């Protein structure tokens, strides 16, 4: 096997970009053809499209062609192009109850995940298949390969590489773990399982090289900047450190059972269905609405509940970390 771990991430992104570019090229060509067809002769347009099943209108009407404005035709569902985000952008959210707004945010996040899985995950899956077929990023399983990094146990890798009697792993090119994203018990595990190559890069070059006091915040800031410069991105990503701080404190008080290697079932269901899932729902609306004005309007309708819950605990946690670091520096000076 060829060791190209330094270039693997580049090739995977290149494959993904090629698939996406092909999709948008085909889509743009189709839309361009539609726009040109609207400038053609009306009668020829009608004779082509007036087919049962493609239109509510079966035959051409001389009156309809002479008096186009007098006939109102209902748009088909696919022509209407409903946008689920329009409700979040309007002041109509204030007419809903708080529970309805929470359910609306959850529905928006479901639609968003469905779109992502059907488009981006398909592109990533194709890229992974290409890499596996070519043998790129395939290492002996005992060498403990990780995405972006490659084999982490170099002694085992040197010993086993090229052998046909060992088990090989494609973990170095797996970019998404849907089961972990959907069913993991926390914010950290869910985020780490999404776009794992970028998450690993951020962990290696930002998180691990930054002071403990603000390393999560800086990592999320860089992640938001990597996605774009919309205010909604920064609002969503910069709330994540507050969520992870609260999560760490909660998990300390509800330890993992050493036998089952899991926390109590009642706690997992309660935590996932309340704080984790509803928190992700709210953060996703900021990511989708993008601009600050729309995000602020909808989050205000939710009373910024996620910040109200997490911010006080987050501040206390940071003060504790600061006090601990100052205490360590004082003890070092005394020595």
pLDDT for res 44: 38
Residue 271 reports pLDDT greater than 80: yes
The enclosing H or E element of 146 equals strand 145-146
What is the Cα 180 distance to its own chain's centre?
13
pLDDT for res 135: 86
What is the Cα 188 distance to its own chain's centre?
13
Query: 21: which strand partners?
Result: none
Contacts of 227 (CB under 8 A, 6+ apart): 233, 237, 287
Residue 36 binned pLDDT confidence (cut-offs 50, 70, 90): very low
Using CB atoms within 10 Å of the CB of residue 249, give its burial: 0 to 12 exposed, 13 to 18 middle, 19+ buried: middle
pLDDT for res 81: 56
Q: Is the dihedral of CA 308, 313, 317, 320 positive or negative?
A: positive
More confident site: 325 or 226? 226
How far apart CA 48 and CA 170 sit, in angstroms, is 51
Mean pLDDT, the chain, integer = 78
Active-site annotation, residues: 227
Residue 320 binned pLDDT confidence (cut-offs 50, 70, 90): confident
What's the average model confidence in pLDDT over 13-37? 47
- Global pTM value: 0.69
Angle of helix 215-227 versus helix 240-253 axis, rounded to 10: 140
The phi, psi pair for 55, rounded to 5°, reads -155, 155
pLDDT for res 87: 81
pLDDT for res 232: 94
pLDDT for res 333: 66
DSSP 70: G
Give the lowest-confidence range in 11-15, 126-130, 182-186, 292-296. 11-15
Q: Is 111 helix (H, G, I), strand (E, B) or coil?
A: helix
Q: How many CB atoms lie within 10 A of CB 269?
A: 11
Q: Is 54 helix (H, G, I), strand (E, B) or coil?
A: coil
Cα 91 to Cα 193, 210, 287, 300, 303: the distances in Å are 35, 41, 19, 11, 14
Residue 181 binned pLDDT confidence (cut-offs 50, 70, 90): confident
What's the average model confidence in pLDDT over 7-31? 46
What's the average model confidence in pLDDT over 62-83? 53
How far apart CA 3 and CA 157 sit, in angstroms, is 10
CA angle 308, 228, 317 (to 5 degrees): 30
CB 241 within 8 A of CB 314: yes
pLDDT for res 106: 92
Residue 334 binned pLDDT confidence (cut-offs 50, 70, 90): low
How far apart CA 66 and CA 45 sit, in angstroms, is 15
pLDDT digits (tens, 9 = 90+) for 193-246: 888 889 999 999 999 999 888 899 999 999 999 999 999 999 999 999 999 999
Give the lowest-confidence range in 36-50, 119-133, 225-239, 269-283. 36-50
The residue to which tokens 């800031």 are assigned: 221
More confident site: 39 or 128? 128
């Amino acid at each position: 096997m060829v060791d190209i771990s330094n270039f693997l991430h580049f090739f995977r992104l290149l494959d993904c970009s090629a698939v996406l570019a092909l999709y948008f090229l085909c889509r743009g060509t189709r839309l361009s053809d539609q726009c040109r067809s609207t400038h053609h002769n009306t009668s020829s347009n009608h004779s082509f499209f007036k087919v049962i099943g493609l239109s509510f209108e079966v035959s051409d009407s001389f009156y309809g062609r002479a008096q186009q404005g007098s006939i109102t035709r209902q748009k088909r569902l696919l022509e209407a192009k409903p946008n689920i985000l329009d409700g979040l952008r309007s002041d109509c959210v204030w007419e809903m109850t708080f529970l309805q707004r929470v359910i609306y945010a959850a529905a928006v996040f479901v639609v968003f995940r469905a779109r992502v899985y059907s488009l981006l995950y398909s592109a990533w899956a194709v890229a992974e298949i290409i890499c596996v077929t070519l043998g790129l990023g395939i290492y002996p399983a005992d060498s403990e390969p990780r995405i972006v990094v490659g084999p982490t146990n170099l002694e085992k890798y040197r010993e086993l590489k090229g052998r046909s009697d060992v088990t090989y792993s494609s973990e170095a090119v797996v970019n998404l773990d849907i089961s972990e994203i959907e069913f993991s018990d926390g914010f950290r595990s869910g985020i780490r399982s999404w776009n794992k190559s970028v998450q690993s890069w951020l962990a290696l070059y930002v998180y691990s090289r930054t002071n403990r006091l603000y390393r999560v915040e800086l990592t999320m800031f860089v992640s938001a900047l990597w996605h774009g410069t919309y205010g909604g991105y920064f609002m969503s990503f910069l709330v994540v450190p507050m969520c992870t701080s609260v999560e760490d404190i909660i998990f300390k008080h509800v330890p993992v059972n050493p036998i089952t290697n899991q926390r109590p079932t009642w706690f997992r269901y309660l935590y996932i269905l309340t704080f984790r899932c509803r928190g992700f729902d709210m953060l996703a609306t900021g990511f989708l609405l993008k601009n600050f004005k729309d995000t602020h309007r909808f989050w205000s309708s939710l009373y910024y509940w996620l910040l109200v819950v997490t911010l006080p605990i987050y501040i206390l946690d940071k003060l504790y970390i600061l006090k601990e670091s100052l205490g360590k520096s004082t003890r070092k000076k005394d020595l």
